[in-house]
């Protein structure tokens, strides 16, 4: 099972992802965690990412995709995974689609947790007030102002993914404002339905490969059949009869052989003239007698 959860900060993606991990035995893949793990492990991609981050630059999509490619090959990701924090843009979504296509994999679902942003801001303000009243420490970024900035960034970069995956027929939407258990149940129904739907990317590739094999096989069979027919027709074709005169008669099935042309040598001119002259002499002698 391979999933993407979409939704603005505070929509409850982390809570639902953890429940899916426990229920289905899959792993939650965070791009931040994967980057740190790759850097710590000293993998080729990790070393490249470390050099980029050391320069204070953002890690490019190609490097992030390479890290994801390595991570989903690990044994604990064989049952499936939930991507957390990736993709964030359409370009990243396209890169992810190509990666999965190359590995013959599919996304089972892209689920959007739809929420009311004004209610989210109100929830954060109330939670911060309650924590402060209890004397609990509040994170520096856990406030309405920080959330508002994150929501603005989400609308600008990640919200277009909703239209991107909707256009591919892969998006399913859940009301994230419902109680947590109801949201979990709704996601479960979507996944149960997805288990019986034809796959999108990887299966299409496999079907394409199978069709190509069938086409090439049919073409080869057609050629073989044509060659067989030609061979049979050649055997059945009547042989051209060639007449040959022999002592016993005329043979119609004899093989045609080229005849040798015999050229008679013409008699020497000298002998022919002497014979004619001799005849004249004999006639003259007879006439005298």
User: 267: which 2 tokens?
Assistant: 């008699």
Range of the domain at 16: 2-26+79-116+169-209
User: 104: which 2 tokens?
Assistant: 């013959």
Q: For position 228, what pLDDT does the model report? A: 62
Q: What is the CATH number of the domain that holds 9?
A: 3.40.50.300
Residue with tokens 């040598």: 265
User: 272: which 2 tokens?
Assistant: 């022919």
Please indicate, yes or no, if residue 198 is contained in any of the structural domains: yes
Q: How confident is the model at residue 244 (pLDDT cuts 50, 70, 90)?
A: very low
pLDDT at 255 over 80: no
Please indicate whether residue 13 is annotated as part of the active site.
yes
Q: How confident is the model at residue 200 (pLDDT cuts 50, 70, 90)?
A: very low
The region, left, alpha or beta by phi > 0 then psi within -120 to 50, assigned to residue 224 is: alpha
Question: Which residues, in sequence order, are CB contacts of 3 under 8 Å at separation 6+?
Answer: 20, 26, 80, 81, 82, 83, 107, 108, 109, 110, 111, 191
Q: Stretch 80-106: mean pLDDT, rounded?
A: 90
Candidates 78, 98, 126, 229; catalytic one: 126
pLDDT at 210 over 80: no
Please indicate whether residue 88 is annotated as part of the active site.
yes
Whole-number percent of the chain with pLDDT over 90: 29
Please indicate whether residue 103 is annotated as part of the active site.
no
Say whether the peptide bond before residue 285 is cis (omega within 30 degrees of 0): no
Please indicate, yes or no, if residue 173 is contained in any of the structural domains: yes
Distance from C-alpha of 125 to C-alpha of 147, rounded to nearest angstrom? 10
Please indicate, yes or no, if residue 203 is contained in any of the structural domains: yes
Strands (DSSP E) found in the chain: 2-6, 27-30, 81-84, 109-114, 171-175, 244-246, 249-251
Q: DSSP for 101-162, please give it.
A: HHTT----EEEEEE--HHHHHHHHHHHHHHHHHHT----TT-SHHHHHHHHHHIIIIITHHH
| pTM of the entire predicted model | 0.62
Please indicate whether residue 189 is annotated as part of the active site.
no
Please indicate, yes or no, if residue 258 is contained in any of the structural domains: no
Question: Which residues, in sequence order, are CB contacts of 101 under 8 Å at separation 6+?
Answer: 201, 202, 205
Kindly report the average pLDDT of the chain as a whole number. Answer: 78
Please indicate, yes or no, if residue 21 is contained in any of the structural domains: yes
Please indicate, yes or no, if residue 157 is contained in any of the structural domains: no
Strand order in the sheet with 2-6: 27-30, 81-84, 2-6, 109-114, 171-175
pLDDT at 108 over 80: yes
Please indicate, yes or no, if residue 253 is contained in any of the structural domains: no
Distance from C-alpha of 20 to C-alpha of 23, rounded to nearest angstrom? 5
Query: Range with the lowest mean pLDDT among 63-72, 227-236, 265-274?
Result: 265-274
Q: How confident is the model at residue 126 (pLDDT cuts 50, 70, 90)?
A: confident
Give Rg (Cα) of the chain: 46
Candidates 19, 36, 148, 150; catalytic one: 150
Q: Stretch 70-90: mean pLDDT, rounded?
A: 89
The region, left, alpha or beta by phi > 0 then psi within -120 to 50, assigned to residue 245 is: beta
Candidates 19, 50, 88, 114; catalytic one: 88
Number of domains in the chain: 1
Q: Stretch 110-123: mean pLDDT, rounded?
A: 90
Please indicate, yes or no, if residue 217 is contained in any of the structural domains: no
Does the CA dihedral 196-197-198-203 come out positive or negative? negative
C-alpha distances (whole Å) from 13 to each of 38, 153, 231 are 24, 17, 69
Query: Range with the lowest mean pLDDT among 24-33, 36-45, 63-72, 230-239?
Result: 230-239
Tell me if 46 sits within 8 A of 40, measured CB to CB. Answer: yes
Please indicate whether residue 126 is annotated as part of the active site.
yes
Residue of higher predicted confidence among 195 and 219: 195
């Amino acid at each position: 099972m391979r999933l993407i959860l979409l939704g603005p900060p505070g929509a409850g993606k982390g809570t639902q992802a953890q429940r899916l991990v426990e229920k289905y035995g899959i792993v939650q893949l965070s791009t931040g965690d994967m980057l740190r793990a790759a850097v710590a492990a000293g993998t080729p991609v990790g070393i490249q990412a470390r050099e980029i981050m050391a320069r204070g630059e953002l890690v490019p999509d190609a490097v992030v995709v390479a890290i994801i490619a390595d991570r989903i090959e690990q044994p604990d990701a064989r049952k499936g995974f939930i991507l957390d924090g990736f993709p964030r843009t359409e370009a990243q979504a396209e890169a992810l689609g190509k990666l999965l296509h190359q590995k013959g994999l599919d996304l089972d679902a892209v689920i959007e947790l739809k929420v009311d942003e004004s209610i989210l801001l109100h929830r954060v303000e109330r939670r911060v007030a309650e924590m402060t009243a209890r004397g609990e420490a509040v994170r520096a970024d856990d406030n309405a102002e920080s959330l508002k900035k994150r929501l603005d960034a989400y609308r600008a970069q990640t919200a277009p993914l909703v239209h991107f995956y909707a256009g591919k027929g892969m998006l399913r939407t859940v009301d994230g404002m419902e109680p947590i258990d109801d949201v979990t149940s709704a996601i479960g129904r979507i996944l149960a339905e997805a288990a019986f739907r034809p796959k999108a990317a990887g299966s299409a590739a496999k079907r394409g490969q199978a069709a190509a094999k069938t086409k090439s096989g049919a073409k080869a069979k057609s050629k073989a059949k044509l060659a067989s027919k030609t061979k049979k027709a050649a055997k059945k074709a009547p042989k051209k009869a060639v007449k040959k005169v022999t002592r016993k008669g005329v043979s119609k099935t004899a093989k045609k052989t080229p005849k040798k042309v015999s050229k008679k040598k013409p008699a020497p001119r000298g002998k022919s003239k002497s014979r004619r002259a001799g005849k004249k002499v004999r006639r003259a002698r007879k006439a005298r007698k």
